[in-house]
Structure 1
Amino acid sequence: MLRSFLLLCATLIATPSLADEVYRFGEDAYIAGDNVTLSGDAVDDAFVAGNTVVISAPVNGTAHAGGRSVSISGPVGNNVYAAGMNVNISGPVDGDVQLFGDTVLVTAPIGKDLRLAAQRAEITASIGDDALIGAEHILLTGVIAGDASFSTKTISFGENAKIEGTLHLYVNSEDAVEVPAHVVPADRIVRHATEAFDPSVDPEGGATAEPNSGGWMAWLSGQFTSILILAALATLIAALAPAFLINLRERTLETPMRAVWMGFLSISALAGSLFLFALTGYGILLVPASIVLALLLGVAGYVIGTYILGVAVLSAMNRPLPETLTERAIAAAVGAVSVTVLAMIPVIGWIGVLAVAIAGAGALIIRWFAPGFHTEVR
């Protein structure tokens, strides 16, 4: 679910600054804005971010979508990666599906694996392979052709619900969830402790990860994957909001210490506000919002700070400032490598990484709110 979570964070970073814009590279479509709809002729891959997102056009490749409300009703020929508060997949998908949200509905058939994390999940269509679902409440009325791994508090089953493989249940107690015999026979149900659930593993055969050190090759692979994800996120923002990112870059490189200071103050204010909310009584309901906003600002700052660091490194090498999408992608990759190497420095490396994230967060705050003392707003 990491990819879905990062997609959601990228969406929250990008959407406040964007008008409805469409970028097309070959057969791929990039759209961002407030209320956005991808309709009409088929596209290859789709990258859509906004407040309300609707994809009704056929997508021959992979669909990436993020927003408060996400609806995908067109057919998808490959995979779907979607994140939002409300996510609805009502068009058939031939490949794998990964979903992240509060309420997630799957009402059209999925050809391969389903991986889902939500507060409430409703699966009313068939799943062609395995399913891995972590949700407080699950409704299953369709058929899962392979294995199923459920981490949940409550499950409801429809009359036509069926699991043809093994059901792995991750629950607090043996009697927490009752599974009717028509869904899956008792001899094909394996119960596990909730703590053993690992949503990152292969859905087939259960979601319990076996301890494995992996050696230096596994470590190197993990570092390389982290660099790719970080560079891809920064490139996505550069593609969706180039002018916005240029403004952030210029302001931060002009006054880096101001960006660090404003980022420190903003994250500290968000994290510290939970104590004031708690003192007001009813304001304690806002405590989760303070924590989430502080986390999102930190993640957004980390991605943007990484890109700005990459631009700074290239400038130090007498390279021109990035203007095209390819040049921005190179800057993003250089920043991702730089921040990864920085994190490896013993004792002080984590301080440098923290400074990068704080500077990126400060750049966002300066751009959105223009705070300062006796400063001129441009």
Structure 2
Amino acid sequence: MLRSFILLFVTLLAVPATAQEVYRFGNDAYMAGDNVTLTGDAVDDVFIAGNTVVVSAPIEGSAHAGGRSVSISGPVGNSLYAAGMNVNVSGGVGGDAHLLGDTVLVNDDVAGDLRAAAQRIEINGAVGDSALVAAENILLTGVIAGDASFSVDNISFGDDARIEGTLYLYSDDPNGIEIPDSVAPEDRIERHNVDEFDASADPEGGATIERSGSGWGAWLGGKITAILILTAVVTLIAALAPTFLLALRLRTLETPARALWMGFLTISALAGSLFLLAMTGFGILLIPVSIVLAILLGIAGYVIGTYILGVGMLGAANRPLPETLGERAVAALVGAVSITILAMIPFIGWIAALAVSVTGAGALIIRWFAPGFYTEVR
């Protein structure tokens, strides 16, 4: 999952760089620029980003590519990760292929799994294992040796198209999609409505959600479970670091606007650093660090913000500040319920929940670094 985030950020950040920057470490290649081309002798792993990306050199390891237009014509020994508006894979992939774009063309064989999301995708090569594809339009002319899971509106097949395993078909009208027997007989096709797809479900079952309940009962059960999990996490933090949380909540409840502002500035700075790192070329190596820090700060802010919100709600009800573990658990539960209800408010709920998370992040930054503006240094 982290690789996907990296690819998306690199794709967006590659455009400002105008000259091709190349950095080599060991037998790996790191490249960024406007029009970036990798040719010549084979390299181990490649990390490449730009407006137009062309990779024709053999890749003995894995390839990571992001840009507006991405073309991979050289063979890739291990796995391929590519994202762009247009992605064209015309070189064989020895491992798995993970592809994201508007138009994705797979014109050579993929020895492992194929995982792709696009508006339109053509699979003209053989897939050695399973294929997990989400696209509005799919053209399959090759052979998929394992199972296939297609979330699709329109699908067409070539004369030699074939799926050796089970086809899990997800669509708004799954029964309206015709699958020739030469591709997969009906007894190896499972048709589902598109809202039955669940990425966290068992992939051996086509990632189809097993509905143990329905309607508002299942929805309410899910919300209650989420609240209890969040309450347990916040209570655990409150038990392990009560003094630290005491300082955070006192400072934040005194000046909530400052905590919100500092959280916004810090997360913005982490996100903005990606532009500078990408423009330096070799700074791409540090992009994962910025992403991980931003994610961790957001998660920590959400947990801290939930607790501070719970304490604030209890204070508004004229309840004393929590001192014992039981009282902290009550504050955690009140905060978890409050932020869950806030998030369900139409249109503005997600903004309120985000504000709580950012405020918690800001409280953490203030406690650790004590930043200030217009202050004198003596």
Counterpart amino acid of residue 351 in structure 1: A
Distance, in Å, in 1 between the alignment partners of 2:119 and 2:167 is 20
1:127–1:145: 8 Å Cα contact kept in structure 2? yes
Give the aligned partner of residue 284 of structure 1.
none
Residue deviations 1:233-285 (CA, integer Å, cap 9, x gap):
xxxxxxxxxxxxxxxxxxxxxxx979969x9xxxxxxxxxxxxxxxxxxxxxx
Counterpart in the other structure of 1:53: 53
Tell me what 2:158 maps to. Answer: 158
1:304 partnered with 2:271 = yes
Match of 1:367 in 2: none
Structure 1: which amino acid aligns with 2:100?
F
Q: How many pairs does the alignment contain? A: 270
**Which amino acid in the other structure matches residue 10 of structure 1?**
V
Equivalent residue for 2:180? 180
1:43 aligns with 2:46: no
How far is the alpha carbon of 1:343 from its aligned partner?
2.6
Offset of residue 8 of structure 1: 2.2
Name the CA shift for 1:19/1:211 in 2 (closer, same or farther; >3 Å).
Answer: farther
Any residues of structure 2 matched to 1:195-206 within 5 Å, and which?
195-198=195-198, 204-206=204-206
Contact 1:148/1:203, CA 8 A, preserved across alignment: no
1:1-378 alignment, distance < 5 Å: 3-4=3-4, 6-17=6-17, 19-198=19-198, 204-209=204-209, 301=268, 303-304=270-271, 336-345=295-304, 346=306, 350-351=354-355, 354=358
Structure 1: give runs of 5+ residues left out of the alignment.
224-255, 264-299, 309-322, 359-378
Q: Confirm or deny: 8 A CA contact 1:306 1:357 kept in the other structure.
A: no
Please, what TM-score do these two structures have when normalized by structure 1? 0.62
Residues 153 and 351 from structure 1, CA distance in 2 versus in 1: closer, same or farther, beyond 3 angstroms?
same
Distance 2:101 2:17 in 1: 22
**TM-score (ref. length: structure 2):** 0.62
SS in 2 for 1:175: helix
1:306–1:332 Cα contact (<8 Å) kept: no
Cα distance between partner residues in 1 of 2:69 and 2:173: 34
1:38 is displaced (CA, Å) by 1.0
Q: For the residues of structure 1 that align with 2:268 and 2:140, how far apart are their CA atoms?
A: 39
Q: Deviations over 1:64-118 (max 9, x none)?
A: 0011100101111110111100001100001111111000000000001000100
Q: Match for 2:142: what amino acid?
A: G
Question: Alpha-carbon deviations, 1:340-376, whole Å to 9, x = none?
Answer: 3223211569437547999xxxxxxxxxxxxxxxxxx
2:271 counterpart letter in structure 1: I
Determine the C-alpha separation between the residues in 2 that align with 1:333 and 1:179. Answer: 43
- Whichever of the two has the greater Rg, that structure is 2
Percent pairwise identity: 54
> In structure 1, what is the Cα distance between the partners aligned to 2:89 and 2:288?
31
**How far apart are the structure 2 equivalents of 1:171 and 1:331?**
37
Whether the 8 Å CA contact 2:298–2:361 is kept in 1: the answer is no
Distance in 1 of aligned mates of 2:301 and 2:150: 39
